[in-house]
Structure 1
């Protein structure tokens, strides 16, 4: 992997680690999660701190994805996220993509090994890194523990051509996305909305 900004250090959450499939355990033994591609991919680790890197936090914690998103089940493992907070989940051996704005779930039709291979070969496309690239071209640097906030959200059609892109803490970004999802999940297409960006 290229552009590594952070690695997770020692395995301290052995309860979560024991529940993982053997191939993910093998990866995490090598490096206990990683922020790679200059923030384009964050693979979570089995740690209690920092909380933004903790797999247990988003898998079994108070704000676990299955508690918010109707398409996610408790056994789905949210092992990674992209630069804007969309999630990569393991369901069995399949890697699924969760759009955290809309809650839509897509089967990427790859296993973990081939997901990593695709990210390595085609990071821009495989990881949806266009917002990060635009942010970097304007001199921005994404720090470990940050995601990019896009406002207005990509799922909402607006007169404004391009969303405003700025760094935001992982916790704040995921909370904002979950709140957006709750507000729009039962709305018909074409519904008019007024949204406020989250202030940190």
Structure 2
């Protein structure tokens, strides 16, 4: 992996670790999670702290994705996320992608090993890094524990030329996305809405 900004320390959450498939355990033994591609991909680790890096927090914590998103199962493992907070989940051996704005779930039709291979070979496309690249070209930097806030949300058609991009704490971004999803999930496609600026 390129552009590594952070690697997790020692495996301290052995309860979560024991529940993982062997191939994910093998990966986490080598490096207990990582923030790579200059923030384009965050793979969570089995740690208690920092909480933004904790697999258990994302999987079973108060803001676990299955608590907010109807298509996510409690057994889906939220092993990683992209620069904007969309989630990569393991369901059996399949890698799924959760759009955290709309709640849509897509099967990427790869296993974990091939997901990593695709991210390594085609990071821009595989990880949806266009917004991060635009942010970096304007001098922005994502630090470990941060995600890219994209406003207005990507799922909205607007008259605005380019979205506003800024780095914010990962918990704050994920909470905003969950709240936005709750507000729009039952609206029909094409519904007009107005948002208060961030």
Q: TM-score, normalised by structure 1?
A: 0.98
> Does 1:48 find its partner at 2:56?
no
Deviation string 1:10-47 (CA, Å, 9 cap, x unpaired) is: 00000000000000000000000000000000000000
Aligned to 2:104: 104
Aligned to 2:169: 169
* Runs (5+) with no aligned partner, structure 1: none
Q: What are the equivalent positions in structure 2 for 1:1-200 lying under 5 Å apart?
A: 1-198=1-198
* Structure 1 residue 56 displacement after superposition: 0.4
* CA RMSD in angstroms, aligned pairs only: 0.7
Deviation string 1:132-188 (CA, Å, 9 cap, x unpaired) is: 100111111100000000000010111102210000100000000000100000001
Q: SS of the counterpart of 2:167?
A: strand
Inter-partner Cα distance in structure 1 for 2:180 and 2:14: 33
Q: SS of the counterpart of 1:35?
A: strand
* Runs (5+) with no aligned partner, structure 2: none
Deviation string 1:99-131 (CA, Å, 9 cap, x unpaired) is: 000000000000000000000000000000001
Inter-partner Cα distance in structure 2 for 1:162 and 1:96: 28
Q: SS of the counterpart of 2:191?
A: coil
Inter-partner Cα distance in structure 2 for 1:197 and 1:82: 23
* Structure 1 residue 78 displacement after superposition: 0.2
Q: SS of the counterpart of 1:52?
A: helix
* Structure 1 residue 192 displacement after superposition: 1.5
Count of aligned pairs: 198
Which stretch of the first structure deviates more once superposed, 186-195 or 147-156? Answer: 186-195
Inter-partner Cα distance in structure 1 for 2:50 and 2:20: 20
Inter-partner Cα distance in structure 2 for 1:170 and 1:122: 24
Q: TM-score, normalised by structure 2?
A: 0.99
Deviation string 1:43-77 (CA, Å, 9 cap, x unpaired) is: 00000000000000010000000000001000000
* Structure 1 residue 197 displacement after superposition: 4.2
* Structure 1 residue 196 displacement after superposition: 2.4
